[in-house]
Amino acid sequence: MGFLNKFGGSKEDAPNKTTIVQVRGSLNGLFASESKEIRDLFGKILDVAEQSLRGVLFIAPEEFGFKKMLTKEEIDFWFRRVSLALVAYSYCFFYVEEQSPSAQYSFNKFWQRMLDSYNKIFNENVTIDVVDHYAAGMIEESKKKFSKSGNEKQALRLMLKDYTTLAGELLEKIWHENVNQKALDDLQNHKPGENTRAYDLTAQKIVLLGRGIWETHLEIVAPFLPNLMTEYKI
């Protein structure tokens, strides 16, 4: 399940496992009374957040230094930020720059409901601007279509831009590690198919986190979205 879950596995340590279950359970309770589409979408999103965190803590190679005893607050932060980024990714999954006014209205109304639900679940006050923050690369790609025109290097650069935004926040808040300039330079110069082992370790961590979350999103959330949007006539 996802890039992070392809490594050979060490056993989960009981304290982190228990805290993850506790945090996930408390979040499930917060949206239990929401409409079915809200419960369905956020259930999938939280699945990605949980599975990717387990991959980081229990399966990622030792040299990355991810293995530590996390506090409840740190695990809660992971769920908050990964879930918010996944809402932004899901928005971009259907983003079309040119839509009829009625279609654009329905689209924006639906995703505003999703953001309202996120705010209710996590007691935050985020706006649609969060899409520009976590998915700026995806939005630029949807407009300029580098991947379709065969410009793989530029498409990869935009993907790494989004990886860096989310992974940088996770590294700083949970592992107290800032993204250094050497890591940014390595990612800026990364070429399609190039091995990252010679990169700065922080750059390798960004790729591991960003790709792991993104690939798990593609496996769990993305296949669910077309039916969701069709069912609710968006």
Report the C-alpha gap between 81 and 71 in whole angstroms. 16
- Range list of H helices, 59-97: 72-93
Which tokens hold the place of 78?
Answer: 């992971």
Report the C-alpha gap between 177 and 173 in whole angstroms. 8
> pLDDT of 160-215, one tens digit each?
999 999 999 999 999 999 999 999 999 988 887 888 899 999 999 999 999 999 99
Report the C-alpha gap between 29 and 137 in whole angstroms. 33
> pLDDT of 98-123, one tens digit each?
567 777 788 888 888 889 999 988 99
Q: What is the pTM of this model?
A: 0.89
Residue whose C-alpha is closest to residue 204's, from 186, 177, 231: 186
User: Rounded to an integer, what is the distance from CA 64 to the centroid of its chain?
Assistant: 19
Report the C-alpha gap between 98 and 103 in whole angstroms. 10
Query: DSSP strand E in 53-139: where?
Result: none
Domain ranges of the chain: 3-231
